[in-house]
Amino acid sequence: MKFFIDTANVEAIKKAYKVGILSGVTTNPSLVAKEGVKFEERIEEILQAVPSVESVSAEVTPDAVTAEEMIAQANELIKINNYDKNITIKLPMTLEGLEACRYLADKGVKTNVTLIFTVNQALLAARAGATYVSPFLGRLDDISEDGVQLVSKVAELFRIHNLDAQIIAASVRHPDHVTRVAMAGAHIATVPFAVIEQIAKHPLTDQGIAKFAADWKGSSR
């Protein structure tokens, strides 16, 4: 399973990129709004910060409701990095979003269909040519459903029917989500930087480092 970072904060993106574990970035209107910056400018900054990742998802804004409006926004976003392949247009899971997805996929543009909460929605997105589908597990857990189980079922369905779309486990909230979606067959988990920090750490690792340091200091070398 690959890691994308789920943020519009450039400093966090740069930190994760430097560690060398990053394959992509996802953003959404809420994450960009939190930064208080201009959307297109922030996407450009992100694209420049992570030149070698496979995907940077830029979501069409909530003002785009029809497929035509989404495609018009997508065409502007694609221009930001001179039609390079790593910009991915993120589209909402609606019939209009699917129509835009099919159009863009046929033009060779990468797409990420977001806000997926059922297996059927994932199937539709894959059939509309989505490069990525994004089931939101944390938000399902929030309403007492099992988000990881959804990822597991979508992974099984894509295997049975040889569907190429990659599953991005999104709305990942904590380390246990990461382990469980990896085991469930997600191709990618998109995670906040805080979760990357959490999964890198273990108290016994910290204790071990402290003990090595103390022993080294007290040795007679």
Positions annotated as catalytic residues are 90
Judged by beta carbon, residue 126 or residue 168, the one nearer ligand G3P is 168
Binding of ligand G3P by 175 (CB under 6 A): no
* φ, ψ at 56 (rounded to 5°): -125, 110
* 92 beta partners: 114
Which one of residues 67, 74, 190, 199 is an interface residue with ligand G3P (CB under 6 A)? 190
Judged by beta carbon, residue 103 or residue 196, the one nearer ligand G3P is 196
Binding of ligand G3P by 54 (CB under 6 A): no
Q: Which two tokens stand for residue 161?
A: 């029917």
Q: Which two tokens stand for residue 106?
A: 């046929």
| Chain residue at closest Cβ approach to ligand G3P | 170
Distance CA 81, CA 83 (A): 6
Judged by beta carbon, residue 15 or residue 173, the one nearer ligand G3P is 173
Neighbours of 130 (CB within 10 A): 30
Using alpha carbons, list the distances in angstroms from residue 189 to 22, 133, 216.
Answer: 11, 11, 39
Site map (CB under 6 A) of ligand G3P, residues 125-144, x = contact = -----------x-xx-----
The DSSP secondary-structure symbol of 61 reads P
Return residues touching ligand G3P (CB under 6 A): 6, 26, 28, 31, 136, 138-139, 170-171, 173, 190
